Structure 1
C-alpha cells in the first residue's frame, strides 16, 4: 500500500509541476516557433556574363544545417545554365586569422526537375567572417568567384547542432534537420552526421579544398533517449522512440515522441559501423522530481 501511495504522490507532483512549467513556458515564448519553408535568395554573385544566385530558407544562412539551391543565369540570354560543374566551399576567418570550414557539399548536384544545383552547408559559427568560394564551368571555361556572407543565430532550437571529438580522435558534427515545428506526438526526426576528413598532403593554393574536406558518415547509428531534464519534470522520457539510421538521402532518420510541450533534451549515443561507441553515455532511468536530470555526454537541447 505504501508503494501505491508514493506512486500517486509522485504522479500528482509531476502533473502539478508540468502544469506550472507549461504555464511559465507559454508566457515566456508565447508558443511561437520560428519556421521557414520558402527558399529565397540569400546571396548573389556575378562573373562575366553570369549571375549566380544561392537560395536558402528565408533567404538567410543560419548556424546549423542549411539546404542550398544554386542557380546560374546567362545575363545576356536570360537562360539558366544546366550543364556546368559547380563547386561550393565555405571558409571562415577566425579571430587569429586562421581559416576553417564546416560540413558542406563541395560538388553540387543538378536537379533537373527544379532547374537548380542542390547542396548543403552546416555552418558551425554565427559570424560575419564567412566567405563562399564558388566555381563553375561553362563551354570549357572555368569561372571562380567569392563572396563575403554572414551566418546568424538559429532561433529555432529544434534545428540545433553539436560538434565534438569522438573516441577515435575524429571531429564530428550532428545537425538537426527536421522537424522544424514538432507536435505532441511521434515526430519524424532527421539529422545530418558528418566528419572532418583530415588532409593527407600539404596545402596547395588557397583555398585548397583538400584542406577543408568533410563527408557524411556512412552506416553509423545514433541512439536516442529524449528526456525532460528540468527538476519539475523528473527527467521523464517517452515511449516509442526510434534510433536514427542512415537512409538513401544520406541523412539519418528516426522517431522522437514528444508527450508535451516544453524543454526536451535529445540524449544521444553515436556508434560507428562496427557498433563501437564514439561518444555518448546511457542516461539513468530514475524518475527524479525536484532534481535536474542527468544528460548524456552527447546531447542536443530542443524547445517547443
Structure 2
C-alpha cells in the first residue's frame, strides 16, 4: 500500500507541475498525429514446450491503454493452446524497491472468434532507468501450471489523443482514466471512448510475491464523465464547442461519449467524474467566459489532446 501511495503522489505532483507550467502550444501546433492500426508481437515468453506471444498495436507497449492479444503455442507440434487458464499481471519496480501495478485484465479469456486470448494493460508510466516493468504470466497445460515473467519496455505515448491521468478522488479512492479512441480525430463530432478504473485496496496482508490481491484494479461501474472540451491556448480564448455528449458506461465496460472538435489544434477535455449517486468524485466547472490572450482555466480533472 505504501508503494502505491508513493506512486500516486508522484503522478499527482507531475500533473500539478504540468498545470502550473505554461504549455508551449506553438511547438505543438502542426505536429503529426501518429496512428497505429496493426497488431504485432511486442514480446514473447517461453516456458517448457510453450511459447507465449503478446501482440500490441505497432508491436509496442505504450504509456496509457494497450489492448493485448495473447497466443500460446506448443513448440513441439505447433498447435495453439485454446483452453488454458491464463493470468496476467504487470508490475513496475522503482529504484527505492517499491512496486505497484496498473489497470489490467488479470484473468485473460480466449476469444474463439479471433483466435487469441484478449486482455489489456493501462501502463501508468514509461520505462526509465529508475522504473522498470515486468510481466508475470501463468497458464495451465497438460495438467501443469506454468509461471513465467519477463522485463518489458513501455514507451512514451506520442499520440496525445491516447493520453491518461491518474488521481485520488474526493472519496479517497485511487482512479485512472485512459483515452482509447479516436486515435486520429477529425473536425467533426467524434465518438470518444475511455476506460475508467479504480485501485482495489487490499483487505488482507500480502502473500507470496506477486500476490495479485495486492495489485488489483477493477472497471468503475455506473459513473458519468461530464465533458467540456476547450481550446485553452491564449489565442483561442478557451472556447468550447456544441453537441458534445457526456461519457457513460456501455456493455463493453468502457465509457462512451461524443467530442465535437470544430478545428484542429490543442484541446483540453475538462471532466467532472460523478458516481452512481450523482456525487462529484473529481473535477470542477470551467468558467464560460472567453479570455483571449490568457491561457484557459482547466477543470481539476482534465486530459489534454492534440490533432
Q: Same fold (TM over 0.5)?
A: yes
Cα distance, 1:25 vs structure 2: 7.4
Which residue of structure 1 lines up, in the alignment, with residue 72 of structure 2? Answer: 72
Which residue of structure 2 lines up, in the alignment, with residue 218 of structure 1? Answer: 221
Instruction: Please point out which of 281, 289, 293 is paired with 1:290.
Output: 293
CA distance in 2, matches of 1:199, 1:255: 35
Q: TM-score, normalised by structure 1?
A: 0.90
CA distance in 1, matches of 2:224, 2:39: 31
Of 127-136 and 258-267, more deviation after overlay is shown by 127-136
Q: Secondary structure at the match of 2:161?
A: helix
Query: Are 1:233 and 2:216 matched, yes or no?
Result: no
Q: Over the residues paired in the alignment, what is the CA RMSD in angstroms? A: 1.4
Deviations 1:203-230 (A, max 9, x none): 0000000000001000000000000011
CA distance in 1, matches of 2:295, 2:25: 17
Which residue of structure 2 lines up, in the alignment, with residue 13 of structure 1? Answer: none
Cα distance, 1:30 vs structure 2: 4.1
Cα distance, 1:139 vs structure 2: 2.4
Bigger Rg over Cα: 1
Q: State whether residues 102 and 217 of structure 2, in contact with CA within 8 Å, keep that contact through their aligned partners in structure 1.
A: yes
- How many equivalent pairs are there? 281
Q: State whether residues 282 and 300 of structure 2, in contact with CA within 8 Å, keep that contact through their aligned partners in structure 1.
A: yes
Structure 2 counterparts to residues 1-12 of structure 1, below 5 A: none
Instruction: Please point out which of 143, 162, 166 is paired with 1:159.
Output: 162
Q: TM-score, normalised by structure 2?
A: 0.89
- Which 4+ residue blocks in structure 1 deviate beyond 2 angstroms? 24-31
CA distance in 2, matches of 1:125, 1:231: 30
User: What 5-or-longer segments of structure 2 have no aligned partner?
Assistant: 1-23
- Cα distance change on mapping 1:26 and 1:198 into 2, 3 Å: closer
Q: State whether residues 42 and 59 of structure 2, in contact with CA within 8 Å, keep that contact through their aligned partners in structure 1.
A: yes
- Cα distance change on mapping 1:26 and 1:33 into 2, 3 Å: farther
Which residue of structure 1 lines up, in the alignment, with residue 38 of structure 2? Answer: 38
Deviations 1:143-194 (A, max 9, x none): 0000000101000000000000000000000000000000000000000000
Q: State whether residues 84 and 141 of structure 2, in contact with CA within 8 Å, keep that contact through their aligned partners in structure 1.
A: yes
Q: Secondary structure at the match of 1:127?
A: coil
